Structure 1
Amino acid sequence: MLRGVAEWVWYDAGAAAAAIRLGLSPLSTVFGAIVRGRNRRLDAQRALAAIPALSVGNLTVGGSGKTPVASWFAQCLRDLGAHPALVLRGYGDDEWRVHRLLTPGLPVVLNADRVAALGEASGRGADCAVLDDAFQHRRAARVANVVLVSADRFPDPVRLLPAGPFREGLGALRRATSVVVTVKAADRRAVERVEACLREAAPDVPMARVHLVPGGVRRAADSGGGPLGVSENAQAHDTGWLAGRSLLLTSAIADAEAFERQVVAQGVRLVRHLRFPDHHDYSDRDVSRLVSESRNTDGVLCTLKDAVKLASRWPREAVPLWYVSQTLVIDRGAEVLQQECLRVLAARAVTIPTAGLSG
């Protein structure tokens, strides 16, 4: 409930939300001063990392696509011969499960202390790491600092918490090694507006653009979820299968609006979209409600982040539970993303003299 109210205040164009934002502006000024002080303190406490790290973070509260992008970087590093780990705080009971499904076989380390987590990752055989959501966790040293900015959730003007969703202002982009604009359902003009703002704020930082698109449809629970919450050999279809299907949507993600726009664009006949707060832990009552409201439909459709929590609890007698996950498609700046991986490999080669581009 609180998150829903906050997002209304941050993004709604109406007069009431604008008045609340204006009233919260003095608190945003105080928040900005606190952040600047915290940053100075953490910079003074910067600790050497046990292994080279690439950070994937953002400036806002959720919704920029960090999980699929972090997984993409981890897979890229593995393909180049490295042995990466994924390091994250482990907020909620979904992100680590998603990472293990997207990058099977890679260590996933959960620890709010990123410095300690890097040491643990090294002890588990990793020679580099991808830090998921670590741009503001400045105490952990990193060789690459990738910042994501969502073109779908970019309010104008930029406002710091609590009047807006930003943890830091756009000037913070200058400490990034690259900026990646993520696009789910935003139109071309919105994307160009965001990119212009970012170039003005950080003109010397390389920029890339990626689309996060639905990467096929899978049945989440054919006969109960596996150890990660979803069946590993589930029935699958390409996204064209969605056209004309009567589906109930459910999501507990930061950008539910973009998810809905994505699937509607595939031709889904939307029955209803039940939206829950980001990282929401679905209760028995929630599951019962989904089952009840999806009767006489072709099924319930959710994201992978939701499926890892719902699949093992989905009743056999209910309509099918389907999910889509986000696939990363590089629109522009492939060389920028490649350079970030090469930064890590170069640092890895110095740390481990026998290591190179091919491992």
Structure 2
Amino acid sequence: MTLLERSWYSSNVLTLLLLPLSWLFGLVAALRRLVYRSGLLRRQRFDVPVIVVGNITVGGTGKTPLVIWLAEHLQSLGWHPGIVSRGYGGKAASWPQQVRPDSDPNSVGDEAVMLAARTGCPMCVGPDRPEAIRALLRHRTVDIVISDDGLQHYAMGRDLEIVVLDGERRLGNGFLLPAGPLREPASRLKSVDLVVVNGGDAEHELAMSIRRPKLVSLHDDQTLVLDGLRGRRVHAVAGIGNPQRFFGLLGDAGIEVEPHVFADHHPFRAEDLRFAEELPILMTEKDAVKCRRLPCRDAWVVQIDAQPDEEFVRRLNNALKDITDGQKIARHPGLPEL
């Protein structure tokens, strides 16, 4: 974690110095929302419902496991979901791009390949979300779209907004970027449809927990239970937004962690996985899609599944019923009131 990121979760001089920039950031963000609400910039709607799963903070909150759960839940209800995302880190020459489980993560982004592989859903990525949705709908039979992130992409119309909060880090110091971790003011949470808290003390809140993770071999289909490594030392590799959450998960399972932190969306090379001490290597699913072709021994992917609580599922199902009935969801008639 950089000095700036550490300052987001404490009170310090750096925070005070950056406050004027945060006020400017907030003003620009508010003006941007205003031009969409006033109709000066057009908000694009689609023939199928769009669900946004996002956050109002920078850094990992556990949003991607919820997207996977949501895709599986929609499929269990008879929907045919498709997924769009930005394709962050992808270097494709043109956008949007269709994503398959065997797509090159260097072209379309690591998270996109992981989502396509885990869900089996049609997927399309691109910095222009509406264009990605249109491309998805042209080539696939999709009757509902999940947008992985994109809460602040106001050009994209949406029928349901879900925000994931980190149960430990919450909103940090409560300031907007760059003095704090907020992309939008905390008041934005009042206008979304569902707020789910990932871990931490979520009493009186909609909660999401992580099911018992399992280990999948990086290079074949062999699997292990995470408890099988209890009491052992491992190299833990993480190039994600919040690596401490990953290391903490392993520590809670009784595993002694030798942490190796890389930048979010790091393009892994073979030398990144060469360590002086030969120990099992554990990595996140997002990192694994970039490491499968690299030569390394005893490497395992920690597969994580989210489980929202019953109240979240009940409210989600009610919202989906409202959508299918052609009704507007309460408190969300178009752009949120901020």
Verify same fold: TM over 0.5. yes
Return the alpha-carbon distance in structure 2 between the equivalents of residues 48 and 91 of structure 1: 23
User: Please, which of 156, 167, 190 is the counterpart of residue 183 of structure 2?
Assistant: 167
Residue-by-residue CA offset, 1:63-101 (whole Å, 9 max, x unaligned): 111211112112211211111100111112211111112
* Cα shift at 1:327: 1.0
2:271 to 273, 277, 288: 288
Task: Identify if the C-alpha distance between structure 1 residues 121 and 29 changes in structure 2 by more than 3 Å, giving closer, same or farther.
Answer: same
Match of 1:237, SS state, is strand
Q: 1:346 to 1:216 in 2, by over 3 A?
A: farther
Q: 1:31, 1:160 within 8 Å by CA — same for their partners in 2?
A: yes
SS of 2:275's partner is helix
Task: Summarize the alignment of residues 175-324 of structure 1 with structure 2, pairs less than 5 Å apart.
Answer: 175-183=191-199, 186=200, 188=201, 191-192=202-203, 208-222=206-220, 234-270=221-257, 272-282=258-268, 284=269, 287-293=270-276, 295-297=277-279, 299-313=280-294, 315=295, 318-324=296-302
Deviation at 1:263, TM superposition (A): 0.5
AA partner of residue 275 (structure 1): V
- Alpha carbons of structure 1 residues 80 and 289: separation in structure 2 relative to 1, 3 Å: closer
Please give the alpha-carbon distance, in whole angstroms, between the structure 2 residues aligned to 1:65 and 1:346: 30
Contact 1:143 1:343 in 2 (8 A): no
Shift in CA distance, 155/80, structure 1 to aligned 2, threshold 3 Å:
closer
Say which SS state the counterpart of residue 293 (structure 2) adopts. helix
TM-score, with structure 2 as normaliser? 0.84
| 2:164–2:197 contact (8 Å) kept in structure 1 | yes
Listed one character per residue, the Cα deviations across residues 105-125 of structure 1 (whole Å, up to 9, x for unaligned) are x10011222212222222122
Which position in structure 2 is the counterpart of 1:204? none
1:23 & 1:330 partners in 2: Cα distance? 39
State the Cα distance separating 1:4 from its structure 2 match. Answer: 2.4
Q: Is the 8 A contact 1:77 1:341 kept in 2?
A: no
Q: Specify which structure has the higher proportion of helix.
A: 1
CA-to-aligned-CA distance 1:181-206 (integer Å, 9 cap, x gap)? 112xx3x3xx45xx6xxxxxxxxxxx
Cα shift readout 1:165-217 (whole Å, capped 9, x = no counterpart): 1101111112211111112xx3x3xx45xx6xxxxxxxxxxx52111345211
Alignment-mate amino acid for residue 23 of structure 1? L
- Render the CA deviation track for 1:230-289: whole Å, top value 9, x for unaligned: xxxx1101221121222011101111111111101101122x21111111111x3xx314
Alignment partner of 1:329 out of 307, 327, 330: 307
Shift of 1:325: 2.2
Distance 1:343 1:216 in 2: 36
Q: How many residues align?
A: 303
Alignment partner of 1:114 is 2:129: yes
1:116 alignment partner AA: E
Percent of residue pairs identical: 30
Q: Could you state the TM-score of these two structures normalised by the residue count of structure 1?
A: 0.79
Give unmatched runs, 5+ long, in structure 1: 196-206, 223-233, 349-359
Question: Is 1:149–2:165 an aligned residue pair?
Answer: yes
CA contact (8 A) 1:307 1:323 kept: yes
Change (3 A) 1:253 1:156: closer
